[in-house]
A and B are shown apart, each in its own frame.
Chain A
Amino acid sequence: MGDGTGTTWTCYDAATMTAREIYGHVLAELSDADPRIVGLTADLAKSTAIAIYERRHPDRFFNMGIAEQNLMGVAAGMAKTGLIPFASTFAAFASMRAAEQVRTDIAYQNLPVKIIATHAGVSFGSAGTTHHCTEDLAIMRSFANMTVIVPADGTETANAVRAAVDIPGPVYIRIGRGFEPPFYDSEDYGFEVGRSHTVRDGSDVTIIACGIAVLQSAEAARLLQEHDGLSVRVLNMHTIKPIDREAVLNAVSDTRRILTVEEHNVLGGLGSAVSEVIVESGKGCAFQKLGIPDEYSPVGYPEDLYAHFHLEANGIADHVRSMLDLEFEEDEDWEDEV
């Protein structure tokens, strides 16, 4: 179906509000009660769904034109006056074209600008490599003061947007193209910034996922339970920074095998953040990162690209199986204690 940008998309469930649409609605609701909230975009009001906000609060909506650097600079200036700007654009433009403004104007001054980055990862599919964004987590994670959130679906996006208002500094919320299938049934599952959500408990291996990979990881865990008898823990690590160290370390000690799954270059994103926690702890475990390899993606439908990169349930399950034989510790004493 068409999404208004001229590109043709496949679609899971057009009847369900997508992450970006939910973002638009939630932001409009929040603005009803909080006059500090303002919305900005760079000629992508419709594509990023902030147009929903524009219709409800036209006097608090600002279109900067095709000028992402300006978008971030103006947002920083508004934040300086006490406003809470939500700046929406494609992830590739927010994190790379406007990187200096995000760093120096916003993050350096620790200003409460909330960046809503849509069409992240390879979700822009046929739009090609210029519009793919598999580097943003690495970039945003390295900006001091920045909180980085990757919601699993629209419901979690609503939670993240609400939570972002109360965070005093800058927040980067990374969402997809808009037709990702829903994962959560309701908003009441205990979302908390910096605290992962245990989607499923298990003791053989832990999958730590974010974004669209959460649903696929949960499905992989179900497959592994049913077909392989494996007990797989799945953590939705929606907050990449600050990362939930406790949950990672619990996974190390409880399951000793960790697979991270993300729609991002395997360098610098969720996998890197998790591996830093593990290495800094001095504890050992078998560890693998599944994501976009250190290469640029082919161009195609997002679903085909996810399958190509094994970012779907069967690919994730195969990776888990391959981890089971990894030897990583010295506990190979098989003499019974008598």
Chain B
Amino acid sequence: MNHPLDQESLAARLFVRAAFPVMKVPLQEDPKLSRSPSPEPANVAFMADDVSACIRFEDGELSVTEGPCGESDVTLRFPSVEAMNRLLRGGIALPRIRGAIRHPRVLLRTMQLLLRLKLMLPSQRPRDPFKQYLKVKMSLYMVTTALSVLNKLGDPEMQSWTRGQPDRIYQFTVGSPERDDYIAAYLRVKNGRTKAGRGVYTRRRPFVHFRFTGAEEAMRVLLKEVAFVESVEQGYLTVEGSPEYSAALNDLMTRVQALMT
């Protein structure tokens, strides 16, 4: 059994395991990043107290692992987890940076991606349809993963919710599957275990399917501009499946968002 984490440590680990991997979305899909030259293969270490993460750039792609890098080319060391969280929540925090002179393009790409993560903040309300798409896709990827991580870290509330459930899929989709801007992510729950996945889970029908009409509508719901129930009434969102469990999941999502914003 995991020891319960304090809220800041919990938030930091959610950032590392759920938010950092979402950098892949803008890296692959934002033309400003995908068309610019990739940095050389490199490891970037994030360190704050006992929380650390390693981002690996290689062949135009990135991977994220929790824990220290074996050998880091660039290191961002924060004075505390609170400081790292503050930066990731859109505030100001200055990490001590090592390796910037030898690997300026790696540091630049890292900063570009950290800035793209800000798109998920509630304060960001893009009008450009592509940015709306990015915001929604990143947010759904992040929140489904964060819920799964929360469960894996032993959060009592999350574990209590997942423990009693048979194999169930909580599916999120945005728009139409025939369109290029279709977004899909899911959370699988089975007897206390969880997995966040991208796309549509095809091995069984969703227990609850949240269908957002489009990115604009999904963004309004994610930003709490319309309440969950109201969003259903207004047609922004269709919820197929158990109303009780969908409401419970919505509450857990709200909790995750509160931790990370």
The residues of A with any CB-CB pair to B shorter than 8 Å are 203-205, 229-231, 253-256, 324-325, 329, 331, 333-338
Contact = CB atoms under 8 A, between A and B. Distances in A.
A334 B194 contact: yes
Contacts of A230: 166
Given A229-B244, A333-B195, A338-B18, 6 more contacts: A204-B207, A229-B242, A231-B241, A253-B205, A336-B195, A338-B196
B32 to A, nearest CB: 23
A204 B207 CA distance: 7
A319 B149 CA distance: 33
Nearest to A250: B205
A250 B206 CA distance: 13
Contacts of A334: 193-195
B149 A336 contact: yes
B198 interface: yes
A337 B24 CA distance: 12
B164 interface: yes
A156 to B, nearest CB: 27
- Give the secondary structure class of B's interface: mixed
- Give the secondary structure class of A's interface: loop
Contacts of B60: none
Choose among B191, B196, B203, B241 the residue with the greatest number of A CB atoms under 10 Å from its CB.
Answer: B203
A120 B164 CA distance: 40
Contacts of B196: 336-338
A276 to B, nearest CB: 22
Contacts of B242: 229, 231
B81 interface: no
Nearest to B24: A338
A253 B241 contact: no
B21 interface: yes
Contacts of B195: 333-337
9 nearest CB pairs, A to B:
A338-B21, A254-B205, A336-B196, A324-B166, A256-B204, A203-B207, A337-B197, A334-B195, A203-B205
Contacts of A337: 195-198
B194 A203 contact: no
A255 to B, nearest CB: 6
